[in-house]
Chain A
């Protein structure tokens, strides 16, 4: 009875968080935090400085960067000012605002990184509202090929670093799609773009016919629907779209492809010229990171050269974000679940204060137990994932309760680390 969580709660009080919101209990939280910190560490080694941005902002600010469907964001009236605010569905526009306003006196380029929660709702979908934990970078004020290669290369390196070396990097070029959509009457653009994004040739043709788009333009738009795959797609696209603007967009993409190939990334590259979704602020080469598991991209990014201008300080920019939850899911699917490097963890009952302090200084996690715990210390250690119980003059192993006498202070405890871990190892495993 006593060990059971109480289920006697007021029946009409919802104790679970709203749909899509999630708790992460200690073990899961440790895994997520460790993965995110590994990612941020890599970003920082490339000079991306971490920033933190507010959980909600005035709708007017965020909507400058996003062409959002108003039903997809969580909006409320901020009582101080009476202005409409929204819980951030994306961090990139916030960083654009920071660069354009508060960091504008520092010299370019601005390299910033972040890790935070974003909220998105998706009506009617199988996956509805979700809180995404996203880690990413934004590289502002550094235009052209160099920045594209740095950012896409960094995204691939981040995936490889955490155990997904073969992640597929699917390049896109929103420029081409935009050019072609501009040839469609404005009223029909949204349904045409939707059909194109779904690669739904049948619906696309129907929408174009309904909008009375002339046959030539119709063929041009329909031509995008199957332009995805490997490098030859770029050649096919060049033969299909010969006007100067389309050519320029395709050349830009080809240069990025070749640059990434030079860095040895070619086996991971793919291209999809019909990909337009979720790309409201992108202006050039974009990319998505694909791996088995979550059934949707792990993350992605691209060039957004016009966003900073909307905050009053035009500058070229590119960046990407990774969904931490999806990366964990993909690692699981690949049979390489993320295991955070874990310090030695001890529960303590009656050990000398000096020893405890020394262990903490040495990086050991030591949780002091109240005396009343008494005989139940071992049970506590097991339930909370401690390696052992540190008592007065002895250390008990959590897994099987075996005792070792303690000598030599901190060094003596640390020397027992392998003995503590021994019983965790699967039978027959060595080392």
Chain B
């Protein structure tokens, strides 16, 4: 999607703000102009962070960095999950689940 397409899909977004976000690399479209689905979703996220949650512009990089780290962690966890699925049998997965539960209970009890 081009910059113009994106602006018309999001009438509440001023072009200057979008350009600023791209300039600050908060959004990283290919060649700076071609917005993939995730870029569009990220622009929507930025709109709601700033306009709905009223997060100050200076705080946005911190929020984005934490979010990016969180999603990186979740992608890694999904990778672990896939590896377990593909490398193990149902029995073993049940054993892993059981062990995870046991460890979690142990931790809760301190």
- Is chain B found bound to chain A in the same assembly? no
